[in-house]
Structures are given as C-alpha cells and as structure tokens.
Structure 1
C-alpha cells in the first residue's frame, strides 16, 4: 500500500530536472524528509535507481541528506 503525502509547497520544479523519476523523487521529498526505504516502498522505484537520482539531486544542490534521510534543500 502506498502512502499519499500532502504537497503544501507551491514552488515550481527546478528547470534542471528533466528526468520524470527525478521530478517524482523531488516532489515526494518536498513536504518532508524520507529514507531510501520510504522512497522505494512508496514510489516503487528500485534502490539502485533511487541512489543514482539522489546523487544527482545532491550534486545539483537540490536535496541534502539529514540523519539517514533525504530532504529538499530549503
């Protein structure tokens, strides 16, 4: 069963996000932090793919790792 997370932010997606999966991960993380296991379970994306997406998002300064979870940089 997947969990729906509310989206409370009205910010637009960063223009450098081209991949649909990167957009999905970014939008999922907007309301709060999530672990890699949360992302895998709720989005149905394999961990190897998530690690690659998160690495790219971190390199672009869009996402940061906080205590084992990932969150959008404010």
Structure 2
C-alpha cells in the first residue's frame, strides 16, 4: 500500500508575511472564515494588543478586511490581480 501526501495548499500563506504571529493570525482567519480580535486572543493565547497590531499590519497590506468587529482574510485571487 502506497501512501501519498498532497502538499498543495488551496490558498497558502502569503509570502509577504514574515512574522510567526502574522502567519498564525492570518492562517486562523483563513481557516475560520473570520474572527474578532477577542476570538483571536482567546483562541491563540496572544496578548490582545499584539493581535490588534498584527491585524492592523495585515489590513494595511490588504491581506485582511474588517467588517464591523470581524476580520476576514481577503480573497487570494483579488490580492494577486
């Protein structure tokens, strides 16, 4: 029996993310289809101030969007166009 491992990731982590916290927050948002800063703080165990800083940075790079209090990862096809 041969085991295969599909290494393809549907969207991937954007290459411009270099900090572990930014990658973690982005990945969580992509996997959860959105979360509030409080959700991220409680789920990831990072300080809320750090979460807000990362979210601000991701938003300024166009990697996340905020709707009311919820942040979502932007559609990768829109980022690449």
TM-score by length of 2: 0.77
Q: Structure 1: which 4+ aligned runs deviate by more than 6 Å?
A: none
Identify which of structures 1 and 2 has the higher relative contact order when contacts are C-alpha pairs closer than 8 Å and 6+ apart.
1
- Corresponding residue of 2:11: 11
User: How many positions carry a matched residue from both structures?
Assistant: 66
- Corresponding residue of 1:60: 61
Structure 1: unaligned runs, 5 residues or longer:
1-8
Q: Which has the larger radius of gyration?
A: 2
CA offsets 1:26-66 (integer angstroms, 9 cap, x no match): 00000311011100000000110011100100000000101
TM-score by length of 1: 0.84
Question: What RMSD, in angstroms, separates the aligned Cα atoms of the two structures?
Answer: 1.1
Structure 2: unaligned runs, 5 residues or longer:
1-8, 76-81
Cα distance in 1 for residues equivalent to 2:38 and 2:55? 13
Cα distance in 2 for residues equivalent to 1:72 and 1:56? 13
- Corresponding residue of 1:22: 22
